[in-house]
Amino acid sequence: CPTYKDQIANLRDLDGAGPGFGLLGYPVLQAADIIIYKANVVPVGEDQLPHLELTREIVRRFNNLFGDIFLEPEALLSDFAAVPGIDGRKMSKSYDNAINLADSVDEVARKMRSMFTDPEKARMGDPGHPDRCPVFVYQRMYNTEPGRLDEIRVQCEAGALGCVNCKLEATEHLLEKLGPVMRRRRELSENLGYVHEVLRQGAAKAR
C-alpha cells in the first residue's frame, strides 16, 4: 500500500530507524478484528477503503496458504461515503472540524454558522455553486423536504439564497435528524453502569 510505504520512508527520514511494530502490526490486528466475527461487509468511509483493502489482502494471502478459511469482506459505502468537516476538508477529529454527537445544540449551531461555503460566493447576490459547497452536502444529507433541494440549487445558483440562511436551514434539518441520537447518547453517558453491562455481555458473546 503506497500510504504505508510513504509512512515508513518518512519515519526513516526522521530518525534514521525503522518503524515501530504498531505501524506494521496494526493492519494485522484490524484484519483480525474483522475476520474473527466472519464479517462479510464492513461499513466504511471512502478514505478507509485502502485500510480495508489491506484486510482483504491478508485474507487472500492466508487463504492461499492454508485453504479457504476466512471470508474476504467487502466495503459497505453509504450514499455519503465522504462527509466534509466545517472547514471543507474531510471530517476528522484530528482536524478538529467535526460535528460530534456529544456536542450541545448551541455548539452544533455555532459550528454550522462557521462552516466554509462556496469561495466564489462572497456576498448576497453572487451566483453560487452548490456542488462545491460543503453546506449543500449537509442539505442533501438531512433536508428531506420534498422538492426543497432543487429549490435550494436554483436559488443558490441565481444568487437569491444567501449562505447564512442556507446554513440556518441545514442546521435545522441536521438537528431534527441527529437530535434523537444526541439525546440518547446523553442518556447513556449518565447511565454508565448499563453501558458497561452491555459491553460485558457483548464481549462474552464475542468470545
pLDDT tens sequence across 148-185: 999 999 999 999 999 999 999 999 999 999 999 999 99
Cell digits for 28?
494485522
* Segment 86-113, tens digit of pLDDT: 999 989 888 999 999 999 999 999 999 9
Residue 57 has pLDDT above 90, yes or no: yes
Q: Which DSSP string do the residues of 4-31 spell out, in sequence order?
A: HHHHHHHHHHHHSSPPPHHHHHHHHHHH
Instruction: Quote the radius of gyration of the chain (alpha carbons, Å).
Output: 22
Q: How far apart are CA 75 and CA 191, in angstroms?
A: 34
Closest CA to 44 of 72, 75, 82: 75
Q: What share of the chain is helix, strand, coil (3-state, %, to 5)?
A: 60, 5, 35
What are the residues whose beta carbons fall under 8 Å from the beta carbon of 201, sequence distance 6 or more? none
Q: How far apart are CA 159 and CA 151, in angstroms?
A: 12
**DSSP label of 70:** S
Is 147 within 8 Å of 101 (Cβ atoms)? no
Q: How far apart are CA 8 and CA 202, in angstroms?
A: 36
pTM of the model: 0.76
Confidence of residue 19 (pLDDT cuts 50, 70, 90): low
